[in-house]
């Protein structure tokens, strides 16, 4: 194998914690209050993307596990040698999480909400698996969302014109500025991503009185639809749920996709058929005192995440007779 690449871990040196969806701002503030320097830090992640996937990349074969272990050790060594406070591997797979735990990384869990396609032929088939009260609530929400003469369109491929992106960027900036404080994607980003991978994009757009008023951006994976950004310039009850959650389910059913991942957080997704799913991150903390404090915190946080996940799963909107069959 001499001269061949066996493995890699793409990473970034960061001077902030924005765009990560695994929140360590409290760790930084606590360390800096006692005179420490948390930034810069090392980050192993796909930027701005809370989607689980491999982070320690290794050529398949008998040495793959050893290569991943070597990458884990190298990240820790680079962190220490470069006088960085920490290394963070986020939204990694569970096997990678366990491997890093064995190499001394602190282990963290969190929750997302995913919709699973049980072979539904139509949206009504999916609704038929829900408890009657939940089924009626969703039907009412979908009806109310479109009550003001709103129509919904799916745009992909050549439908993703510059005019469509202009409209969506206005939604993104308006909603992002009000909810997140600092939208980070530029208008040029949308043109580039539309040009480079338009056939892997689904833009769900709502139109009223001849103009676009809201939209939700999704990326199409091999078997999963990934919901990303949403925005609107008019407020209509339940339109957010319609564009981001129900239309995504409609699309997944129509295209026979196995799953919809609707982004980070959001317990309100549970009532709409999206169930809790554990996500993983691993953290190498160089300072021993900070490491001990975070280790203690994460032990309690993992217990909370596990208990909350079980409680949320028990509150799933699906019919009890179907859950008992499972």
Contact 90, 45 (CB under 8 A): yes
Helices (H), the chain: 25-33, 64-81, 94-102, 123-127, 132-145, 162-179, 187-197, 239-241, 247-254, 288-314, 320-325
Which residue bears the tokens 């996709």? 257
Write out pLDDT tens, residues 281-300. 999 999 999 999 999 999 99
Q: Which whole number is the average pLDDT over 258-275?
A: 89
* Distance from C-alpha of 228 to C-alpha of 231, rounded to nearest angstrom: 11
Please give the pLDDT value at position 325.
55
pLDDT above 70 (res 2): no
CB 20 within 8 A of CB 90: yes
Torsion angles phi and psi, residue 7, rounded to 5: -170, 165
pLDDT over 70 (residue 323): no
Residue at token pair 């999206």: 274
What dotted CATH number matches 118-257?
A: 3.40.630.30
* Nearest one of 134, 142, 167, 97 to 245, comparing CA atoms: 142
Question: pLDDT category, 43, cuts 50, 70, 90?
Answer: very high
Instruction: Tell me the β-bridge partners of 7.
Output: 58
pLDDT per residue as tens digits for the range 154-183: 999 999 999 999 999 999 998 866 655 677
What pLDDT score was predicted for residue 71?
98
- Name the residue with tokens 């909400």: 113
**pTM of the predicted protein model:** 0.91
Question: Is 90 exceeded by the pLDDT of residue 31?
Answer: yes
Percent of the chain with pLDDT over 70: 96
pLDDT digits (tens, 9 = 90+) for 106-136: 999 999 999 999 999 999 999 999 999 999 9
Range 225-244 average pLDDT: 95
Task: Please list the residue range(s) of the chain that carry CATH number 3.40.630.30.
Answer: 118-257
pLDDT at 1 > cutoff 70: no
Report whether pLDDT(22) > 70: yes
β-strand partners of 302: none
Mean pLDDT of 269-284: 95
Whether the upstream peptide bond of residue 40 has omega within 30° of 0, thus cis, is yes
Residue 165: phi and psi, rounded to 5, are -65, -35
Per-residue CA distances from 193 to 118, 181, 226, 246 (Å)? 31, 23, 15, 24
Calpha distance 272→95 (Å, rounded): 30
CA distance 86 to 120: 45
Residue 273: predicted pLDDT: 93
pLDDT of residue 48: 86
Rg (CA), the chain: 22
DSSP string, 86-129: EEEEES--HHHHHHHHHTT-EEEEEEEEEEE--S-SSHHHHHTT
Q: Which two tokens stand for residue 129?
A: 């698996």
Average pLDDT of the segment spanning 91-108: 98
HSE of 156 in the Cβ direction (CA atoms, 13 Å)? 10
Report the pLDDT value the prediction gives residue 182, as an integer from 0 to 100: 72
pLDDT bracket for residue 32 (50, 70, 90): very high
Closest CA relative to residue 281, chosen from 42, 112, 96? 96
Mean pLDDT of the chain: 94
- Residue 251's pLDDT is what? 98
């Amino acid at each position: 194998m001499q001269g061949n690449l066996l493995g890699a871990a793409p990473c970034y040196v960061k001077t902030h914690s924005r765009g990560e969806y695994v929140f360590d701002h409290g760790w930084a503030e606590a360390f800096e209050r006692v005179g420490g320097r948390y930034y810069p830090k090392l980050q192993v992640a796909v930027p701005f993307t809370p989607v689980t996937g491999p982070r320690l990349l290794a050529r398949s074969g008998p040495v793959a596990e050893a290569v991943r272990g070597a990458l884990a050790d190298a990240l820790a060594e680079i962190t220490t040698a470069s006088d960085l406070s920490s290394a963070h591997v986020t939204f990694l797979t569970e096997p990678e999480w366990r491997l890093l735990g064995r190499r001394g990384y602190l282990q963290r869990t969190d929750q997302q909400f995913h919709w699973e396609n049980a072979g539904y032929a139509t949206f009504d088939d999916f609704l038929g698996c829900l408890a009657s009260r939940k089924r009626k609530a969703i039907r009412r929400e979908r009806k109310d969302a479109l009550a003001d003469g709103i129509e919904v369109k799916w745009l992909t491929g050549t439908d993703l014109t510059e005019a469509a992106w202009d409209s969506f960027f206005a939604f993104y900036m308006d909603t992002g500025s009000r909810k997140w404080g600092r939208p980070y994607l530029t208008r040029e980003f949308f043109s580039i991503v539309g040009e480079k991978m338009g056939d892997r994009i689904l833009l769900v757009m709502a139109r009223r009185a001849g103009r676009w008023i809201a939209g939700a951006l999704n990326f199409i994976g091999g078997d999963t639809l990934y919901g990303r950004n949403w925005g609107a310039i008019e407020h209509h009850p339940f339109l957010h749920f319609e564009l981001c959650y129900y239309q995504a389910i409609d699309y997944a059913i129509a295209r026979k996709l196995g799953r919809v991942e609707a982004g980070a957080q959001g317990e309100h997704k549970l009532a709409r058929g999206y169930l809790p799913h554990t996500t993983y991150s691993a953290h190498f903390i160089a300072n021993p005192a900070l490491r001990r404090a975070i280790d203690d915190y994460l032990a309690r946080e993992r217990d909370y995440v596990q208990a909350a996940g079980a409680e949320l799963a028990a509150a799933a909107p699906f019919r009890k007779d179907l859950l008992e069959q499972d």
